[in-house]
Structure 1
């Protein structure tokens, strides 16, 4: 079996009859944490379908459209392609190699792809077949050893302020070496809720903007903002912080602001 499974699986034949593999290969987690000192990390798959599936796994650096053979990442997966019979499990081994050397002062994020394809059936003159594949894509965090602080404290360290100009909304600064995955943000002002149901992930030592149309630019210092994050297990955690002055929307410390 070759890497050509990727292109074949996304649309094999134009047809009248569909064979769809949807959500049938279950991964045992919602994200992968790869400790920098680990020799390998093992993930487990299970085929929930009532028939065999061909499964292809690869890692990319954020380009969801990149084919596996064009993915340039410091990881290998064994086996990269496997046949899984119905109601069976299979372990995949992810190994990281140190070339090029990853950043040692912060996490790096990659994406694990698992593509499930129902094995081809022969098309007859009377029956054309359209074959689809279903891909699951989850985050993989490469976490160097001896990073300062604790990952579970990263969300509490986020610094929130109103965007200094342009589109109305919030700016959030992450002063830690860990990624923080936001899953929801709510700011209540004069009994009106301003929400973001799809906020971005905040990179280590980075900032992110969260659009909230109608939110004023001034007079909000000290206003509480409620937000949720996803932890290493994929569980939702609830937090609250106070908005800082607009001038704090940078790596400059804001120690005298409310809630500091």
Structure 2
């Protein structure tokens, strides 16, 4: 086997290993949260897919304009998620100023 072929094979094998090492970390189980107005809260499951590393998660809700306060809060706002564990963030409505006859983003 030539040195060039060996180098290509070694590079491919290393790239697969690096990809697997980077696969761990924090994963949000959903891309969107739909808040049902008839319920008090909505949940967003999160998981730590890492095998060894715990993570400190901080969460918050921003309004799109960045100036006014968002009508929701998230609990817990800061927590530690151990390796291999999962948890849920609770999204709670704090204001009653959303229109009830249409959806809001």
Are 2:33 and 2:43, in contact at CA under 8 Å, matched by a contact in 1? no
Map 1:47-196 to 2 at 5 A. Answer: 47-49=48-50, 50-62=52-64, 72-99=69-96, 101-109=97-105
- Scaled by the length of structure 1, the TM-score of the pair is 0.29
SS at match of 2:38: coil
**Greater strand fraction, Structure 1 or Structure 2:** 1
* Cα gap change, 1:48 to 1:71, in 2 (>3 Å): farther
Q: CA deviation at 1:62?
A: 2.3
Q: 2:5 maps to which residue? A: none
* Cα gap change, 1:54 to 1:22, in 2 (>3 Å): farther
Listed as ranges, the gaps of 5+ residues in structure 1 are 1-20, 110-260
Greater relative contact order (Cα < 8 A, sep 6+): 2
SS at match of 1:92: strand
Tell me the alpha carbon deviations over residues 85-125 of structure 1, each in whole angstroms, 9 at most, x when there is no partner.
Answer: 111111111111234x112222111xxxxxxxxxxxxxxxx
Q: CA deviation at 1:54?
A: 0.5
* Cα gap change, 1:22 to 1:96, in 2 (>3 Å): farther
Tell me the alpha carbon deviations over residues 65-104 of structure 1, each in whole angstroms, 9 at most, x when there is no partner.
Answer: x5xxx761111111011101111111111111234x1122
**Greater helix fraction, Structure 1 or Structure 2:** 2
* Cα gap change, 1:38 to 1:47, in 2 (>3 Å): same
Distance 1:45 1:98 in 2: 25
Larger-gyration structure (1/2): 1
- Scaled by the length of structure 2, the TM-score of the pair is 0.67
* Cα gap change, 1:48 to 1:98, in 2 (>3 Å): same
Q: CA deviation at 1:23?
A: 7.3
Q: 2:47 maps to which residue? A: 46
